[in-house]
A and B are shown apart, each in its own frame.
Chain A
Amino acid sequence: MTNALGIPAGIMPDYRREIPGPLLERTGKWVEHRHMQPGVFRHLADDGFECISVRLLLPPGGFLSSNTLRLLARWIREYALTGRRTSRQGFELVGVPPSRLAELLDEVAAHGLAVGGTANSLHQPKCCNGFIHCQNAVIDAPSILKMVMDRLFDGVQHHNYPAGLKISAAGCPNQCGGGIEADIGILGVFLDGPRVSDERLIRSGINVEYLRSHCPVGALHRRELPDGVSVQVDLDLCVRCTSCLLTAPEAIEMGVIRGAAIAVGGRGGGIKGTPRLARVLHHYIPAIPLNYDDLIGKIEFLVDRWCARAVPGERIGDFLDRIGWDYFRQELE
Chain B
Amino acid sequence: MEGSQRVMVRCLAQGRYPSHVTQLLDSAYPLDAYEMGLQANGSLFCHGGEGSIAELPGGAGIRAMRKPFKDKAFVRILSPCGGWLGSETLELLADLADRYAEAHIHLATGGAMEMYLEKEQVIPLVRELNRHGLDVGSTGDGLRCIVSCCGPIRCEYGVVDASALATYLGRRFIGEQQYPSLPHKCKTAVSGCRHDCSRVGTQKDHGFIGVFRDTPVVDRARLQTWVEAGGSLAGLAGICPAAAIRLLPDGDLLICGQTCRRCMRCVGVCPAIRPGLDKGVAWVVGGKYGNRGPQGPMPGDVLISFLPVKNNDFTLIGNLYGAFLELWDTYAREKERIGDFVRRFGRERVLQELRVQGVLPEKGGDGVD
Contact = CB atoms under 8 A, between A and B. Distances in A.
Interface string A255-296: 000000000001011111111110000000000111000000
A40 B69 CA distance: 43
A33 B131 CA distance: 38
Nearest to B159: A28
Contact of A135 (B12, B49, B299): B49
B104 A249 contact: no
B104 A10 contact: no
Interface stretch (A75-83, A192-200, A220-228, A320-328): A75-83
Interface stretch (B107-115, B250-258, B360-368): B107-115
Interface string A18-31: 11100110111011
Contacts of B107: 58, 62-64, 85, 89
B17 A149 contact: yes
Interface stretch (A96-104, A125-133, A229-237, A302-310): A125-133
Contacts of A85: 79, 83, 85, 107
Nearest to A24: B153
Chain B interface residue number, banded: 35 or more
B27 to A, nearest CB: 5
A37 interface: no
B87 interface: yes
A245 B291 CA distance: 13
B101 to A, nearest CB: 9
B109 A177 contact: yes
A23 B154 contact: yes
A68 B23 contact: yes
A85 B114 CA distance: 14
B285 interface: no
A65 B27 contact: yes
A164 to B, nearest CB: 11
B175 A10 contact: yes
Nearest to A85: B83
A331 interface: no
Interface string B128-139: 001101111100
B154 A134 contact: no
B84 A72 contact: no
Contact of A86 (B78, B83, B152, B175): B83
A10 B41 contact: no
A144 B265 CA distance: 34
B174 interface: yes
Interface string A171-209: 001111110110000000000000000000000000000
- Name the residue among B49, B90, B130, B178 with the largest chain A CB count within 10 angstroms: B90
Interface stretch (B54-62, B321-329, B347-355): B54-62
B119 interface: no
A126 B108 CA distance: 10
B195 to A, nearest CB: 5
Contact of B271 (A32, A72, A131, A275): A32
A135 B47 contact: yes
A140 B175 CA distance: 34
Contact of B133 (A17, A135, A181, A250): A17
A262 B231 CA distance: 39
Interface string B83-113: 1111111110111011000011111111100
B161 A178 contact: no
B32 to A, nearest CB: 12
A8 B134 CA distance: 11
Contact of B38 (A28, A66, A289): A289
Contacts of B196: 268-270, 275
Nearest to B179: A8
Interface in A109-123: 112-114
B44 A173 contact: no
Given A113-B18, A133-B106, A174-B289, 15 more contacts: A10-B174, A11-B135, A15-B81, A15-B84, A19-B86, A65-B26, A135-B46, A147-B15, A149-B17, A180-B291, A213-B334, A241-B292, A273-B241, A275-B201, A289-B39
19 contacts: A8-B178, A18-B86, A28-B161, A57-B18, A59-B19, A66-B93, A73-B88, A83-B87, A112-B18, A131-B45, A149-B17, A150-B17, A175-B290, A180-B297, A270-B196, A270-B263, A271-B195, A274-B299, A275-B287
Interface of A: 1, 5, 7-15, 17-20, 23-24, 26-28, 30-33, 43, 51, 53, 57-70, 72-74, 76-77, 82-87, 89, 94, 112-114, 126-137, 140, 142-143, 146-147, 149-150, 153, 170, 173-178, 180-181, 213-214, 216-217, 239-243, 245-246, 249-250, 266, 268-277, 288-290
Which 8 residue pairs are nearest across A and B when measured between Cβ atoms? A249-B47, A62-B107, A32-B271, A175-B289, A65-B26, A131-B37, A18-B84, A149-B17
